[in-house]
Structure 1
Amino acid sequence: MSRTGEQIAALRRAMAETGAPSSDFDLNPGTVLPENRKLRPAGVLAAFLPGPEGLELVLTKRSSRLKHHPGQIAFPGGKVDPEDDGPVAAALREAREEVGLQSETVEILGTMPPHETVTGFLVTPVVGLVSDRFDPMPEPGEVAEIFRVPFEHVTDRSRFSVQGRRWRGQRRLYYTVPYGPYYIWGATARMLRALAGRMDG
């Protein structure tokens, strides 16, 4: 079996595993969250596609002009709109709008338990396999850059580290998995860490 084939098989096995919900507060157990908080449902697409040396994950660098998470590294995705049939549909729609990924070329391998963000979203990570040619088209005003990260980099737990910074007067810890000039951290890194945790069963 080719490297790509082995990675696809490993990804399918990982998606058959079960997991628990995650949040931006996982590493900060002392954080007290208001019980009456209202979380907005959202979906993001972790889209893997074949590259020259195996699978690659599509990620974006968000525009610095955006209200939420400006300039950060993120999956294509966004909030569930009324016309969306749930977070999977929202993730596919947003991927089409943000990076030009056509929905019919994506095989959905499954979803992971939702992730709560500090900005009040309940995000469902949707894992998909791109079966056809992908010509990246960044959405003006939202996406500054589209890039790819090797499969091994985001599915190997040893590549993740915990860092911290001051946030709202307190020290907040979070996962990071930097790749070259791209500082992958926060919710994106936490969701990838959850996927990596499934890779060894």
Structure 2
Amino acid sequence: MTLVERLRHALAAGHAQDTTLLTGDHVAGEPIDTGADIGAAVLVPVTDRDRPGVILTRRTDTLKRHAGQVAFPGGRIDPEDADAVAAALREAEEEIALPRDRVTVVGESDPYRTITGFRVTPVVAVVPPDLVLVPSAVEVAEVFEVPLDFLLDSGNHLEVAVEWQGHDRHYYEILWGGQRIWGATAAMIVNLSRRLRWAG
């Protein structure tokens, strides 16, 4: 079975089961204003190698939103984008020069609502290993790869509690090779872990 087939099977099987997911950055019990959501999409590029990895970026420190944070390539769904998949592919090409014709889309996973008002759809895809990726100087400070089995291992998902704007908030972080993956990106990884139940 190819990596694409394994991921498609795992994603379909995971979505057929009841699973407790992280739905957004809101505090438990807070009402969610879904009418205010701005559509966005991220690409979850899985490298097709013996030990598959996931390509992530670290955003530049000069960006207005989420500066310096680790993120999947992605962004807002523009009017010219046909859907979330098209937006994710476009953004990945713009941010890290990932050619869309080298991407095999596996499928979409569960949307996640950020505290900044975005409804983010993760698009899982498989890409060839060792592509030469060129980060956009304006948006991306670094491109790196983390083993898929490490990211999806729930033992690496650390839950952190903080007080923010008078509320107790909880978020996940994943630490790897000096990189701190947290917030919405970590939450989407946690959801994928719960959906895929990846055995490596």
Given the two structures, how large is their TM-score scaled by the length of structure 1?
0.88
1:66 and 2:63 are equivalent in the alignment: yes
Q: Which residue of 1 aligns with 2:85?
A: 88
Once residues 97 and 168 of structure 2 are traced to their aligned partners in structure 1, the CA distance between those partners, rounded to angstroms, is 38
- 1:72 is displaced (CA, Å) by 0.4
Amino acid at match of 2:36: K
> For residues 151 and 5 of structure 2, what CA distance do their matches in structure 1 show?
16
Q: In 2, are the aligned partners of 1:107 and 1:131 still within 8 Å (CA)? A: no
Q: Is the counterpart of residue 149 in structure 1 residue 149 in structure 2?
A: no
Report 1:1-201 matches (<5 A): 5=2, 9-16=5-12, 17-18=14-15, 22-25=23-26, 28-30=27-29, 32-33=30-31, 35=33, 38-51=36-49, 53-131=50-128, 134-200=131-197
Structure 2 CA distance for aligned equivalents of residues 160 and 13 of structure 1: 24
| More deviation, 15-24/174-183 | 15-24
What's the secondary structure of 2:58's corresponding residue?
strand
**Cα distance in 2, alignment partners of residues 36 and 72 from structure 1:** 25
Instruction: Indicate how the Cα distance of structure 1 residues 125 and 36 shifts in structure 2: closer, same or farther if over 3 A, else same.
Output: closer
How far did 1:9 drift?
Answer: 4.9
* 8 Å CA contact retained: 1:77, 1:91: yes
Aligned-partner Cα distance in 1 for 2:157–2:143: 22
Query: What's the offset of the Cα at 1:34?
Result: 5.6
* Unpaired runs of at least 5, structure 2: none
Name the CA shift for 1:64/1:120 in 2 (closer, same or farther; >3 Å).
same
Cα 1:44–1:198 change in 2 (3 A) is same
1:84 and 1:70 map into 2 onto residues whose CA distance is 25
Q: Runs of 5+ in structure 1 lacking a partner?
A: none
**1:36–1:180 distance in 2 versus 1, CA, 3 Å:** closer
| Mapped contact 2:4–2:106 kept (Cα < 8 A) | no
Q: Distance in 1 between matches of 2:130 and 2:37?
A: 35
Over 3 Å counting, the alpha-carbon distance change for 1:176 and 1:36 in structure 2 is closer
Structure 1 residues 41-74: Cα deviation after superposition (integer angstroms, max 9, x where no partner): 00000001134x5111000001111111110000
User: Structure 2 length normalisation: TM-score?
Assistant: 0.88
- Equivalents in 1 of 2:41, 2:34: separation in Å? 22
Q: What code does the residue aligned with 1:43 have?
A: A
